[in-house]
Structure 1
Amino acid sequence: MEPNNHENDGGEGDWKPRVRMTFDTEQEAYDFYNTYGGRLGFSIRRGYVNKGKDGQITSRQFVCNKEGFRVVDKRDPLTKNPRQEVRTGCQARLVIKWDRNMQKFFVSDFVEQHNNIFVPTECTHMLPSQRKISASQATEIDLAEKYGIRLNAAFELIDNEEQITNIFWADAQMIMDYGQFGDVVTFDTTYKLNSAHRPFASFVGFNHHRETVIFGAALMYDETVDSFVWLFKRFLEAMSSKAPKTIFTDQDAAMAKAIPIVMPNTTHRLCTWHLMQNALRHANSIFKDKAVKDKGMKSVLSTFMYNIEDEEEFTLKWKEMLDKYEVRDNHWLKLTFGVKEKWGWPYVRNAWGAGMSSTQLSESFNAFLKDFIQSDHNLM
């Protein structure tokens, strides 16, 4: 409900408190002052209250959350973790009184000046009086309390979830494994973690027994160049700036741009399994009717992946293939040929890859994850 304004104060009168401004209820006054505080960047709380014999509030003070000073801590003075002093004795306040004739509250005192620094606009939602939670968030807080998480920590979890973009983590075992077996890494984001379709990214490799080892994992907000640059930088930080010699990824343009920015000396190879899946999706139909004896696109592309060793022969055979099947204008084939150095056998056969040619390691790890992670799990 809008406060009743006795005067037109221009644009400011719509949101800034003024003496004699009136409100129908105490809650209405609180909400108005709190909205004002949220706009500037400070939190409010209720101060003193006076009531009549009938229980009607006759006056109420609202103050800045930094008002006053904390009373002496009665706990053990030798406590190792004393509470941080957060109050500054701020005098900013809004006082309302009840007018029996009007049957309304009016502002009797308004002190605008604060002695504390306001928080940035993007963080005001985290102020105590500005926190607004949904029913689902209230349930999360109840569960947090049940398991011993303090109320303010539970609020912090919710606020963090609303601000999180990308998360990367690697534990001590992952870091040690990478130190021994991290020369070749497969990186994959095809597994979508939750109902919001946030990508789950994994850095995976082989150990000396040809067993799958995990070097790191990430939850990503999106799959942009900036996000991948951020992620690869965090990965290298965790791994003492040791970049892999070879990294396998799927056919993603954003990844391809980010890798040389962060790891300029790392060989980037495309996963042959993903490449084949993309080929079957984008180009299989144009070969199906014309290459029965070749068993379609899979057979055609496999030749270039594994059988042709000379670069000139690779280019010549590719042109012959385009002419034979009349697919010179196929967009996907043009793009794929443009990155032939990352998958074509003449270009990758001498680049050490520990016997890997695809990110199926990541695929199998993703399949393993599905037994533990469901799409209705939230980010935290």
Structure 2
Amino acid sequence: MSTENMIRAFMTDVNSSCANVTPTPYSPEVVATSEIHGVPHCSEELKPFVGMKFENLEQGLDFYNAYAKACGFSPRLDSSKIIQGVTTHKSCVCNKEGNRQHGGQKRRRAITRVGCPAKIKFKRLLFGEYEVYEFIEVHSHAMVTPATMIHLKSFRKLNLVHKKMIMDNSRVNQGPVKTFRMFKEYVRGYKNVGASLEDFKNFSRDVKKYIKEYDAEMLIEGFMQKRARCPSFYFDFDVDDNKRLTKVFWADPIAIKNYALFGDSVSFDTTFDFNEYRMVFCPFTGVDNHKKCVTFAAGLIMRENEESFTWLFDNFMKAMGGCYPTTLITDQCLGIKAGVKNVFSGNTTHRFCMWHIMKKLPDKVGSTIYKDTDFLKEISSIVWNEDIEPTEFESS
């Protein structure tokens, strides 16, 4: 049997199946279970009708979606009939079709199913076309207004512009909520956004979930691309036995130039909060001639121990061309102290940060003495006095 005859025999079986399908005509019994709200108003050229034909099923579904949007309701795909991998019958209903099941619900939910009878059904013809063989346009609920059309799930869709803006804003630590508000300003109103806030949040969540296992590779690849564009960019990293990123250090050319100008005194602070990867942010900072903070370098470490700080300080000296700072100010940490001794010993004066010392003062002298305003005033006048000499400080 030739291929053409096989197709004809197959479509004969399909058409015989279609002949046995009896369309459900519109009658009062069809919608007796719910209150009839009426037929939605729509332009006649957008309204489907029984006998209407389409080249393929996708065209038919797209036409019904356009009709639903013009009327103000959301369609939902329903049952299908598939023979030998070919869809011979397909139905599409209103998203409020059916009734909600009340059993086994753990939390309260809004009622979204009201038994709406509106539907459309397609069947496949001999040469691949699809024909509408049943269409009910009566709904048992009110249609939405154009202003609230954005809340219908079928017409909410993130396009390339939405996704690019979410991705670009995430690079500068702008979340999906701020991105949604910014987009609203660009298009002059929430009704013109084309998607909801939940869509923005869901896309941002999906992106984070997708890159979760590749974020370390993306970070190192980004640093390599920076160094390829700018050979003066310095970075280094280290991984553990399980190939997990444990240490990262970087310094760009501007930071290195800042160190050459203002690097006589360096502050190294690890008191910042952990990030979501439980890594500690470790910036190297200083002060310029205008009493403003400048950055020399930065790092991320997994553990605050001697080995990690020695690795950081060693890379810092490599990035700065082996030029030791005159003074290094840090927190009171045994790991930092050991790392400073391993790298800066004999070349740099190590001092503890006065802010950290004063922060721990209540634990040392007791809260009763610390709350004495005269004591606090007197010790502050000594500690924060830039002109006081060491002998005078000790005698005070």
Given the two structures, how large is their TM-score scaled by the length of structure 1?
A: 0.38
Given the two structures, how large is their TM-score scaled by the length of structure 2?
A: 0.37
- Look at both structures and tell me which one has the larger radius of gyration over its CA atoms: 2
